[in-house]
Structure 1
Amino acid sequence: MTDIPGAMRGAVDLAALAARSRRADSGLATIDEAAFQELAQQSLQRPVVIAFVSSASPQSEEIAREIESAAAAVGVTAAACDVDAQPAIAQAFQIRAVPAAVALVGGRPAPLFQGAATREQIDEVLGQVVAAARQMGAAEGLGEPTGAPQAEPEPPLPPLHQEAYDAIERGDMDAAEAAYDKALRENPKDADARAGRSQVRLMARSRLADPQAVRAAAAAAPDDVDAQLAVADLDVLGGMLDDAFGRLVDLVRVTFGDDRERVRARLLELFDVVDPADARVLRARQALASALY
């Protein structure tokens, strides 16, 4: 396993250029932050697997190509993240060494492995990704890995959940939200509907956002509630949960009245996008309670 190397300021990394060229030749996309935001939104319909690579680790390049091949066999989108070129993305996923891989399923990050992996192991974890995506209704066009055991057919989604999923597929976020709202009126304890509604709202708010412009606006106006809410949305989509939650908890501490309630409500909605057992959510809930009381 290769530690993530630092880069010398001003140096031209010829090995990195060659590695990016090999990835381009293989057809495996290398992402930046803007592309990552697009993949996070895409994962609401179809899972995404990101291979973390470095020019200093030829093994990571080989595993990335194995991931691409295995993912293509089952319809999963695959991409590579060069940790030397995109350290912020690597840090957001707590990647300390390459090779490593992370899946995005329904907008939620799921670590797959860190270190060497055989094709059989890659097929196995992709099978788990496909199964999770089917359970979440985010399995558009998926198959099964070669040689993987055939999973039992998933039961159909509840009618209103299926209605929401169909609306997402055709890009009608208002209709999807309405379907989830109806499901919650019928059953206020429907956690899947609540999470789905929060994900749809997040996707609708962020789908046309320019990440650079949003971040610049937030940096220029730290007291602008709307600007801070917008950048927190991008951080959640990018997997930078601690940054997003910490930003909004800090905002709760310095706002009052309607503004404070808006920030609190958005933070609770963003919690719903993530696995409720995620340690970052649990920490942020405690911090929010402290900030409020």
Structure 2
Amino acid sequence: MSTPNHRPAPAASTMNLRGAVDLSALKAKATAPPAPAAGAAAGAAGAGQAGPSPYIVEVSEESFPQVVQLSAQVPVIIDLYSARSPESLQVSGALEKIVTEQDGKLLLARVDVDQHPQIAQAFQAVAVPTVAAVLKGQPVPLFDRAVPEEQIRALVAELQQVAEANGVTGSLNEGGGAETAEEPPLSPLHQEAYDAIVEGDYDGAAAAYRKALAEQPADAEAKAGLAQVELMSRLKGADAEKLRTEAAENPDDVDAQLAVADLDISGGHVEDAFNRVVRLIARVFGDDREKARVRLLDLFEVVGVADPRVTKARSALARALF
């Protein structure tokens, strides 16, 4: 893995876990009940403790679902690291310090990407360090490069604000278990999509979501799921460096610009993606403009239509169109 030259992305708050396909596949492996959150979080996650703090754990594919359960109680920071990367270890050290200071208000889940590549793939990590979070089972991209401790603290503070707005205000010091309600079973078509996702069959998942929408056009979860699996399908096997070069050399090539917008969304660079497509819409016309507009609406679904960045981009889209 290499470190791309992107600025850190702000926290997102409304991505849907069931549409975040690879994370959903990991979560589907859960076989144990939600673990208690009192005292040592390492035991709760079913993983080895990574440091002196009980709120820092090493996780694997098997223990990851239990970490997701705890995200209903406290924000869970996911540190995707490699011991081969000095920058990665530097970020890990800063995160450990910050989480320890919070004394149970955060959980740091460390993932060795060399040992657990499936989790790295779930977060679409193409570099180390990559740091994300999980809130109430929802993935939240944070950053994918080495950044100074001060900037990490600012992002963590923003994450905690998002957590508070979403009712995630617990502590791992609180007595009793994590009060996490069991998710209701999926409808048959959603289950069909889910199973296809686990198998890496994005086309099959998209077909199932389309069937669900044909039956229930107002099914917001199917709409978001469809947008996200279509994004994953478009990015499957993509050469990120090649796509960015083509877009830089062909600023008015709609397909090239939309491909990079897909990359930016997948990496958590939401505003970059939205701004790219809005600028494109402002300078192209006819079928090209409509194609870009429809793709932007799909990307709104991927991020979450209630996200404030989507609201801002909708206003920019209206200005570009009219």
TM bracket (short chain): 0.5 to 0.7
Which amino acid is 2:189 matched to?
L
1:182-233: CA deviations, max 9, x gaps? Answer: 1101111111000000000000000211111111111111111111010000
Which residue in the other structure is 2:103 paired with?
Answer: none
Asked whether the equivalents of residues 51 and 64 of structure 1 are also in contact (C-alpha less than 8 Å), the reply is: no
Offset of 1:88 from its aligned partner?
7.0
Which residue in the other structure is 1:162 paired with?
Answer: 191
Which residue in the other structure is 2:78 paired with?
Answer: 50
Q: Give me the whole-angstrom Cα distance separating, in 1, the residues matched to 2:277 and 2:195.
A: 32
Give the secondary-structure state (helix, strand or coil) at the position aligned to 1:43.
Answer: helix
Which residue in the other structure is 1:19 paired with?
Answer: none
Q: Which of 140, 146, 153 is equivalent to 1:98? A: 153
Give the secondary-structure state (helix, strand or coil) at the position aligned to 2:108.
Answer: helix
Q: Which of 77, 81, 87 is equivalent to 2:129? A: 81
Distance verdict in 2 for CA 1:217–1:168, change over 3 Å: same
**Larger RCO (CA within 8 A; separation ≥ 6):** 2
Offset of 1:275 from its aligned partner?
1.9
Which residue in the other structure is 2:251 paired with?
Answer: 222
Q: Which of 220, 237, 240 is equivalent to 1:191? A: 220
Q: Give me the whole-angstrom Cα distance separating, in 1, the residues matched to 2:24 and 2:227.
A: 12
Which residue in the other structure is 1:201 paired with?
Answer: 230
Distance verdict in 2 for CA 1:245–1:44, change over 3 Å: farther
Which residue in the other structure is 1:60 paired with?
Answer: 95
TM-score, normalised to structure 2, is 0.56
Matched, 1:111 2:152: no
Which amino acid is 1:174 matched to?
D
Equivalences for residues 29-44 of structure 1 within 5 A = 32-33=3-4, 42-44=22-24
Distance verdict in 2 for CA 1:227–1:44, change over 3 Å: farther
Offset of 1:148 from its aligned partner?
3.6
Which residue in the other structure is 1:135 paired with?
Answer: none
Question: What number of residue pairs does the alignment pair up?
Answer: 218
Q: More deviation in 241-250 or 273-282?
A: 273-282
Offset of 1:101 from its aligned partner?
5.4
Offset of 1:278 from its aligned partner?
1.0
Which amino acid is 2:216 matched to?
N
Equivalences for residues 252-291 of structure 1 within 5 A = 252-291=281-320
Which residue in the other structure is 1:11 paired with?
Answer: none
Which amino acid is 2:272 matched to?
D
Asked whether the equivalents of residues 54 and 61 of structure 1 are also in contact (C-alpha less than 8 Å), the reply is: no
Asked whether the equivalents of residues 101 and 112 of structure 1 are also in contact (C-alpha less than 8 Å), the reply is: yes
Distance verdict in 2 for CA 1:213–1:192, change over 3 Å: same
Give the secondary-structure state (helix, strand or coil) at the position aligned to 2:129.
Answer: strand
1:146-179: CA deviations, max 9, x gaps? Answer: 9642533221011111110001111111111111
Distance verdict in 2 for CA 1:98–1:156, change over 3 Å: same
Give the secondary-structure state (helix, strand or coil) at the position aligned to 2:276.
Answer: helix
Which amino acid is 2:205 matched to?
A
Distance verdict in 2 for CA 1:169–1:41, change over 3 Å: closer
1:112-147: CA deviations, max 9, x gaps? Answer: 589xxxxx94699xxxxxxxxxxxxxxxxxxxxx96
Structure 2 portions without partners, runs of 5+? 9-19, 28-63, 65-76, 81-87, 101-106, 113-117, 132-141, 163-169
Asked whether the equivalents of residues 195 and 272 of structure 1 are also in contact (C-alpha less than 8 Å), the reply is: yes
Asked whether the equivalents of residues 50 and 81 of structure 1 are also in contact (C-alpha less than 8 Å), the reply is: no
Offset of 1:249 from its aligned partner?
0.4
Offset of 1:89 from its aligned partner?
3.5
Q: Give me the whole-angstrom Cα distance separating, in 2, the residues matched to 1:222 and 1:269.
A: 21
TM-score, normalised to structure 1, is 0.61
Offset of 1:96 from its aligned partner?
2.6
Q: Give me the whole-angstrom Cα distance separating, in 1, the residues matched to 2:314 and 2:205.
A: 27
Distance verdict in 2 for CA 1:253–1:123, change over 3 Å: farther
Q: Give me the whole-angstrom Cα distance separating, in 1, the residues matched to 2:228 and 2:237.
A: 15
Q: Give me the whole-angstrom Cα distance separating, in 1, the residues matched to 2:260 and 2:230.
A: 15
Which residue in the other structure is 1:141 paired with?
Answer: none
Which amino acid is 2:195 matched to?
D
1:28-62: CA deviations, max 9, x gaps? Answer: xx87349x9xxx86335347843497838945345
